[in-house]
Amino acid sequence: MDRGKVEFQEEVFNLNPWVDLVKRYIPDEIEPYVHFLAQDYVTVIAINNARIALVRQFRIALDIDTIELPSGLIEPGQSPLQAAIKELGEEVGLIPSSEPFVFPVQYVDSARLSNRVHAFFFDKTDEDPNWIPERGISRHWVNKDEIQGVLESGVLTISSHSGMLAILKTLEVI
């Protein structure tokens, strides 16, 4: 059934500086539709000396350590590219030395989240000799020729990150 655009009334509850809870009341529906309005973020795939930089960190929402690509929120006034370069430097101590391949902007979860991910791929980076690792985050390296095994093993905990790497693998970029 194609409902198309529907009319609704909306309540927005500010939960913190990064997330709002939105309730949308649709006529003839008993329960409101609930979703989260969050800031857009960036994800970065970066190669340094034939290695891909990954991040290990504890994610409180999941209550586990995750292995993922460097990522972070786009701050107000920041472009997605500026945010990507900043996160790359902060999380894994890398400085891009190539122009980025820019993935299409996509929604993260169209059912419950209204934010989008802006993804970038840098095929050349330099290590920042003055990098100080962020507390609670550790950098991990995967050789480009090992990425197929990483994808098949499920070691990456974020499905969109696996998808981005799979696209680059399919295009024979990595």
Distance CA 13, CA 169 (A): 41
pLDDT digits (tens, 9 = 90+) for 111-131: 888 899 999 999 999 999 999
Q: What is the dotted CATH code of the domain comprising 39-170?
A: 3.90.79.10
- Which one-letter amino acid corresponds to residue 27? P
DSSP run (H or E) holding 88: helix 80-92
Nearest to 57 by CA among 32, 91, 18, 6: 91
Handedness of CA 69, 70, 74, 79 (dihedral sign): negative
What does the buried/exposed string (b/e) look like for 56-88 if buried means 16 or more CB atoms within 10 Å of the residue's CB?
Answer: eeeeeeeeeebbbbbbbbbeeeeebeebbbbbb
**How far is 153 from 148, CA to CA, in rounded Å?**
9
The residue behind tokens 């960190």 is: 57
Q: Please say whether the beta carbons of 84 and 53 come within 8 A.
A: no
Which band of pLDDT confidence, cut at 50, 70 and 90, is reported for residue 2? low
Burial (CB count <10 Å: 0-12, 13-18, 19+), residue 12: exposed
Q: What is the pLDDT of residues 137-167, one digit of tens each?
A: 999 999 999 999 999 998 898 889 999 999 9
Domain segments of the chain: what residues?
1-38, 39-170
pLDDT tens digits, one per residue of 48-58:
999 999 999 99
Q: Does the model's pTM come out above 0.95? A: no
